[in-house]
Amino acid sequence: MTPDLLEEGAKRLEKVRQAATEGKTESGGRAAGFSRVAQAGEVDVTHGRILYLEEVSVSFDGFKAINKLSLDIAPGELRCIIGPNGAGKTTMMDIITGKTRPDAGTVFFGSTIDLLRYTEPEIAQLGIGRKFQKPTVFEQLTVFENLELALKTDKGVKPSMFFKLDSSQGDRLGEVLHTIHLADSVGRLAGNLSHGQKQWLEIGMLLMQDPKLLLLDEPVAGMTDEETARTAELFLTLKGKHSLLVVEHDMSFIDTISDIVTVLCDGSVLAQGTLDQVQADERVIEVYLGR
Ligand SMILES: Nc1ncnc2c1ncn2[C@@H]1O[C@H](COP(=O)(O)OP(=O)(O)OP(=O)(O)O)[C@@H](O)[C@H]1O
Ligand SMILES: [Mg+2]
């Protein structure tokens, strides 16, 4: 690279770093969790649960968005959550990640971490990564730079164009690139990626932090059929290594990835079981799937 290009690259990087610390993204979307995820500690899963919600309720102006919701997720599980618009699916994620405080109930990460005692950035640091619907990657940076940036969480370190990944971070970046099917696009600007590739890149940024639990809200919305199929493949490879909570309306996607499906309605669990089981449930047909 010529000195000019280096200088230009350094300026670009500086600009997006500034935005990252201010919690902004170029696209105006919400800042992704990666800018505040640090090292995750150990989570006690000896009781067979990575996430545990009991009798959680929250009201907005008297309207019960979440109503005595109880839910258990096992370590390494890929749980799908479905339900009609307004059922409380996103609000449930807001509660788990500390964005919304419930009025009542218990929310535990493993058997010892009471999530209600932590702030949103702290919960991200504990190892809970969240993917919002809209991709929030840094469009003027390359795929590589986006993934690299996801590691640079130490605000005390002066940002440098020449931040050097150590060998385990380098290995991790290579692994993540492969997992998210972007190994061939490592030098491309994120802004030039397709919608699906941007979504994968953002998932990759979360993966750089090796989260224990990943929350994904409508991850295949707006994707082509081919991108959706690749995302299903990706989630199946993540299962077991991470626990995943996936909210989706796309039933064929759910069919491909799901073991247990939880149906939310009016802020609580209406039904739970395999997709076949919940699809055959009269109450689910009534409120969600239609006749
Ligand atoms: N901050 C808030 N203030 C007021 N009402 C809210 C707030 N957040 C959510 N709600 C309301 O709570 C209900 C549940 O909303 P939520 O977004 O969780 O539904 P959802 O299941 O994610 O729906 P969708 O499938 O459409 O995404 C809705 O009626 C919504 O309007
Ligand atoms: Mg929602």
pLDDT tens, position by position, 194-232: 999 999 999 999 999 899 999 999 999 999 999 999 999
CB atoms within 10 A of CB 190: 26
For residue 26, what pLDDT band results from cuts at 50, 70 and 90?
Answer: very low
Give the residue numbers spanning the domain of 76. 3-289
Q: What share of the chain is helix, strand, coil (3-state, %, to 5)?
A: 40, 20, 40
C-alpha to C-alpha distance for 130 and 108, rounded to whole angstroms: 17
For residue 15, what pLDDT band results from cuts at 50, 70 and 90?
Answer: low
CATH code, domain with 262? 3.40.50.300
Name which of 11-15, 73-77, 153-157, 237-241 the model is least confident about. 153-157
Q: What average pLDDT is seen over the chain?
A: 86
For residue 12, what pLDDT band results from cuts at 50, 70 and 90?
Answer: low
CA of 140 to the centre of ligand 1 (A): 32
Write the pLDDT tens digit of every residue in 112-142. Answer: 999 999 999 999 999 999 998 777 899 999 9
CA of 90 to the centre of ligand 1 (A): 7
CA atoms within 13 A on the CB side of 253: 27
Which range, 41-55, 81-95, 143-157, has the best average confidence (pLDDT)?
Answer: 81-95
Looking at the structure of the chain, the number of domains it has is 1
**Position of tokens 């692994």?**
175
Pocket of ligand 1 (CB under 6 A): 60, 65, 83, 85-91
User: For residue 259, what are the CA distances in angstroms to 73, 209, 238, 271, 272?
Assistant: 12, 26, 14, 14, 11
Residue 30 scores a pLDDT above 80: no
CB 176 within 8 A of CB 132: no
Residue 58 scores a pLDDT above 60: yes
pLDDT of res. 169: 86
* Atom in ligand 1 nearest the alpha carbon of residue 61: 4
Residue 98 C-alpha from the chain's centroid: 14
Q: What torsion do the CA atoms of 162, 168, 172, 173 make, to the nearest 10 degrees?
A: 20
| Mean pLDDT for the stretch of residues 175-194 | 96
Q: Could you tell which of 64, 90, 101 is best to mutate to test the pocket of ligand 1, judged by most ligand atoms within 8 Å of the CB?
A: 90
Residue 31 scores a pLDDT above 60: no
| Strands of the sheet with 104-109, listed across from one edge | 63-73, 51-60, 104-109, 113-114
For 15, the token pair is 């600009």
Residue 191 scores a pLDDT above 70: yes
| Mean pLDDT for the stretch of residues 69-96 | 97
